[in-house]
Structure 1
């Protein structure tokens, strides 16, 4: 009643299992190669870290080493010493000598509380002068490992001391 077809003998079961196992292993090897080739570089910056250097009349943005030639440069220098150098001694070069930030090693304690892999970006806009001081609106964005960027807004006051511009006060905005 049913037709019989003559077919070649199928592969023995053990041979089929070997071919299936070889195929699975080949696929796993290919996936491993893809994973290694596409894995992120361990020396790359944290995801989402960008800090374009920008200098205009009303906005300075960056994360560079700064100097004491202007208020914006002193602010950049302070934050570079804080986040990159991780040194209170370096940061103090941008502060007036009697700054409250230098009391009781507070500055180094604050630096040590931040993960060493943290990157930063500073944006600085002028708020205006008060007497011999200049006030600045400062936004610091921290890029810490494994969390969303952390944004801090500050009002920073700078003034000229012995022909250099130093930070006299940093307060939350």
Structure 2
């Protein structure tokens, strides 16, 4: 700009224009969402639902009768242990106490830059690092905008960026950005985001920078 109950982390490349982060950061590139999945619109007939509920109630009553007969005239059973914490509660606790871990060793070699450090405005790659660090680590829309040109073509203002951080990015999300310099002011960036629930997403971006008063600043962020 972080154990999950899932068997494995999801990893895919999400459309920058369709993703909520992309829509918040680059509002001029919004692409309307597709139609709601037909399966989500479909609902089972209410008659089937009622029949299913009735059958379930009948099974529960039958089980209760069997248990009552089997346990009659016996000693009271030992108190049962407290039920386990629901999985959703465990995930919530993990999200706030255990930051996700995404390995991101810093590297600079030729036209390649990899890392998640604080960046600077010394060059385009550093400006990109600075923007993403402000977004994910500092969680500051105001600071993120310090790495963006005042006349940027399609990057949102600080307040909109801050709302995206607050509403979309869970605390503890980690990231790593791989930047390839195409020209001194044009960069291809692969931003890998890893959230505390184990979800991993890769955003492929094309970023242009400009020089303003001796500082390299971001001018556009587009999907690649």
Instruction: Determine if the TM-score, normalized by the shorter chain, exceeds 0.5.
Output: yes
Which one of the candidate residues 128, 135, 140 is aligned to 1:87?
A: 140
After superposition, residues 22-61 of structure 1 pair within 5 angstroms as 45-47=99-101, 49-61=102-114
- Relative to structure 1, the CA distance from residue 105 to residue 150 in structure 2 (aligned partners, 3 Å threshold; closer, same or farther) is same
Match of 1:36 in 2: none
Report the Cα offset of residue 148 of structure 1.
Answer: 3.1
1:115 is paired with a residue of what secondary structure?
coil
**Which structure's CA Rg is the greater one?**
1
Q: Which range is displaced more, 78-87 or 111-120? A: 111-120
2:130 alignment partner, SS class: helix
Name 2:123's counterpart in structure 1: 70
**SS at structure 2 position matched to 1:85:** coil
Aligned-residue offset at 1:147: 2.3
Q: Which runs of 5+ in 1 are unaligned?
A: 1-41
The count of aligned residue pairs is: 128
Contact 2:134-2:141 at 8 Å conserved across structures? yes
When the two chains are superposed, the root-mean-square deviation of aligned CA atoms in Å is 2.1
- Residue 195 of structure 2 is matched in structure 1 by 144
> What is the Cα deviation at residue 69 of structure 1?
0.2
Q: Secondary structure at the match of 1:140?
A: strand
Q: 1:119 and 2:174 equivalent?
A: yes
Partners of 1:104 and 1:81 lie apart in 2 by 11
User: Secondary structure at 1:79's aligned position in 2?
Assistant: helix
Tell me which residue corresponds to 2:204. Answer: 153
Structure with higher RCO (Cα < 8 A, 6+ apart) = 2
The structure 1 residue matched to 2:217, chosen from 152, 161, 166, is 166
Whether 1:105 and 2:159 are equivalent positions in the alignment is yes
SS of residue matched to 1:107? helix
Structure 2, unmatched stretches of 5+, are: 1-95
